[in-house]
Chains A and B, each alone.
Chain A
Amino acid sequence: MAAKTLRRAQLSQEMCERLSRYQITTCQDFLCLSLLELMKVTGQSYYEVQKLLCKVSRACAPKMQTAYEMKLRKSVNPSSAFLSTTLHSLDKVLHGGIPCGSLTEITSPPGCGKTQFCIMLSVLATLPVSMGGLDGAVIYIDTESAFSAERLVEIAANRFPTYFGSDEKLLCMTRSIHLYRELTCCSVLKRIMSLEEEIISKKVKLIIIDSVASVVRKEFDTKLQGNLAERSNFLTRGASVLKYLAEEFSIPVILTNQITTSLSSGPGIRADLVSPADDLSLSE
């Protein structure tokens, strides 16, 4: 929406040409200027500029929906709202399972089973809807090289022996889990940005990023001054793209995080300040 060009916002041709001389080509550039600057750049009077602003705003503003319409839309399709984890008490606490359309974060100290949980969820996502799965592919972004395909097959074969009885079913399942090994923040961000097309072409129904914390902690040392801002920048950018993907395609997105002891404010273990969970950005 922000990158929408002014021409598509139905501004006149000569106005667009005039603005492009000042490097103002998208709605974003237009809306970032103050009224006086706009007057100078467009050469129009105050009232005309306000009318132009409304026109451009109408081109980018989101559509209105009432809460009632949202509820009706949801009630039309209740079963696709969650990915059941097949652990009954966990599903009960989560009111159905991992919610589709939003980000879920899994945090724990090392060795508790985050990666195992993610591997199991990948298997579940490939199952048909009748068995509680999402009948789709999985994108698995692995930053710690902890994903083991053998373990994946072991879980599948032991958990659902009847369904995965034949080799070809197993092969089919493993073919639909797309693994990406990314080792730096930059490559993780680039991968996240490129996911939109992959989701459509491969019919992806689950995105897992394991783990955000490891790659961020490797590169950003919070004790150094400028790093906090850059880290927060990276996290929010990644977060907003992931949220957009989750909402747009109504799929669950799972992120894993690490735990660190915070010594500054009192005893006890808190989720890493780096991570989504905490204040900085992702968890919102």
Chain B
Amino acid sequence: MQREVGTLPLAPALRARLAAAGFQTAQELLDTGPCGLSKEIGISREEALEALQVVRQECLGDATRTAGGAGASRKCTALELLEEEQSQGFIITFCSALDSILGGGVQLTKITEICGAPGVGKTQLCMQLAVDVQIPESFGGVAGEAVFIDTEGSFMVDRVVEIAAACVQHCHLIAEAQQEEEHRKALETFSLENILSHIYYFRCRDYTELLAQVYLLPEFLSEHSKVRLVVIDGIAFPFRHDFEDLSLRTRLLNGLAQQLIIIANDHKSAVVLTNQMTTRIGQSQSTLVPALGESWGHAATVRLILHWDNSQRLATLYKSPSQKESTTAYQITSHGFRDVQPPAVTHSTGGTELNPRKRPRTEEEKQ
């Protein structure tokens, strides 16, 4: 009620007039009433009424916030947060080593950034995640849908078909081994066609389309409430050219990061971004660092860097609030992202599509 007029979300011209007329707090405005206001400032009665409604809404909002009401406020105790986090699922990557260094998989409500040189597997991982987010809950998945925003044009439908087919096959094998009713029911809706229909694809050609799409995302997500994953493949690409003014770029990127954090929290979905690497010319040598600069490094909560070591692909967890820094190896097979097969494990002939993860899983679930 004591809120100053300058802080109210009114049109600037209106605010200027109110200040000139000597109004200082919201309470004064509400006391004057629409007719009085219109006479004093010289605006129509309808405009005055509208303005007062805005003021009232703001003050009511303030009141509930200060009184500690729920709803618009985003506060809760750490205990509530703990319970929420524990019941939250993870989006697995099908590479158990990678899942374990991430603490279970890609977390919901957090922004995960995947950086790497070209060809190392960033888009493959994104496509794998877009399929894995749809795994039904009875198989330990999140049963959500995915939004895929592509700025580089590297999304290959045929590849997603392969990955999805392998995932469905894997679930079928588990269901056969376990013979549980809920598995069978879940499998009825977990088909290739369904998986593909629940990946919503947007192709953004430049940063304007990307900005526009992110502004429209909250609306899209409230219409499609089952979406649990938003992938932006190539956040760096549209921002790396045509920007003479780097401060504008930083501002746009920060705005984008803010909106994505809000989206991740409000809709309980994971946001995955992929970034490119750039060379930083140091004193005597040049190193590869993630692109978009230092300030962008603060945007993501979890940072994963994929790189090569001779011919082995490695993933390093570079930044995480809950897991420690570690590196693990992975490989990309025709079925998607998988563990590197340890030499000791013998597996059956190449006819069936077994992957190294299958055996450990059925063993522990049989218990």
**A contact set with B: CB distance below 8 Å:** 1-2, 27-28, 31-32, 34, 39-40, 43-48, 53-54, 56-68, 70-71, 74, 102, 222, 225, 228, 232-234, 236-237, 240, 243-244, 246-247, 264, 273, 277-281, 283-284
Give 16 new A-B contacts, CB below 8 A, not counting A61-B215, A71-B158, A232-B241: A34-B255, A40-B12, A54-B216, A57-B215, A57-B216, A58-B216, A59-B212, A62-B202, A64-B202, A102-B154, A237-B241, A240-B237, A240-B241, A273-B279, A279-B276, A280-B278
Q: Which of A2, A34, A225 has the most CB of B within 10 A?
A: A2
Are A45 and B206 in contact (CB-based, < 8 A)?
no
Report the Cα distance A64→B161, complex, angstroms: 19
Of B59-67, B97-105, B192-200, the stretch lying at the interface with chain A is: B192-200
A-B pairs with CB below 8 Å: how many? Answer: 157
* Cβ-defined contact, B54 with A66, below 8 A: no
**B11 in the interface, Cβ–Cβ < 8 Å?**
yes
Report yes or no: A283 in contact with B11, Cβ–Cβ below 8 A. no
Pairwise interchain contact B209-A61, C-beta atoms closer than 8 A: yes
Chain A residue contacts of B219, Cβ below 8 A? 54
What are 28 pairs between A and B in contact, CB < 8 Å? A1-B206, A39-B12, A43-B11, A44-B11, A45-B9, A54-B216, A59-B212, A61-B216, A62-B202, A64-B200, A67-B148, A67-B157, A67-B201, A68-B196, A68-B197, A68-B199, A70-B201, A71-B158, A74-B158, A102-B154, A234-B241, A236-B237, A264-B285, A273-B279, A278-B118, A279-B276, A280-B276, A284-B118
Interface residues on B, range: 35 or more
Closest CB-CB distance, B31 to chain A, in whole Å?
A: 21
Report the separation of the CA atoms of residues A2 and B208 in the bound assembly, to the nearest whole angstrom: 6
B237 adjacent to A277 (CB under 8 Å): no
Of B199, B208, B288, the residue contacting A279 (CB under 8 A) is: B288
User: B residues within 8 A CB of A243?
Assistant: 152-153
Q: Are A284 and B10 in contact (CB under 8 A)?
A: no
Judged by a CB distance under 8 angstroms, whether B171 is at the interface is no
Which one, A47, A65, A66, A280, contacts B198 given CB within 8 A? A66
